Amino acid sequence: MMMITVLIFSIPARKNNDTDSIGDVCDPDNDNDGVLDTMTIASSLLTLIKMIMIWITLGMLVTLMSMVMALQTIQTNAGLHLLSSC
C-alpha cells in the first residue's frame, strides 16, 4: 500500500494579516489601519529622505568644523594669522 504525504504550507499570496477577506497581495490596506499602503510607503520614504538630508548636513558641518580647527592649529603652530582681519 502506498502512502501519500501532503505538505501544507502558507502561500504568501494568500496571507491575510488583517483578516478582512482580501489577501495582502491585493489588499490596498493590508494592515487595516485606514491608511492605504501606498501612502504608508510614501510617508516612510519621505521620512527616510529627510533623515538622510539631516545626516548629510551634519556630516558637512562636522567636516567644515574639522577643517577650520585644523587650519587654526596650523596657523597657530606656524605663527600665521590667515583667519584674522589684520
State how many domains the chain has.
2
Task: Specify the 3-state DSSP secondary structure of 14.
Answer: helix
pLDDT (tens digit, 9 = 90+) per residue, 11-29? 555 777 777 777 777 777 7
Q: Which residues contact 72 (CB under 8 A, 6 or more apart)?
A: 83
- The model's pTM is 0.46
Q: Which structural domain range is residue 16 located in?
A: 1-30
Helical ranges in the chain per DSSP H: 37-78
> Is 64 found in the same domain as 50?
yes
> Is 51 found in the same domain as 65?
yes
Mean pLDDT of 31-40: 78
More confident residue, 16 or 48: 48
Q: Cell numbers 539631516 correspond to what residue?
A: 54
> Is 73 found in the same domain as 54?
yes
> Is 45 found in the same domain as 75?
yes
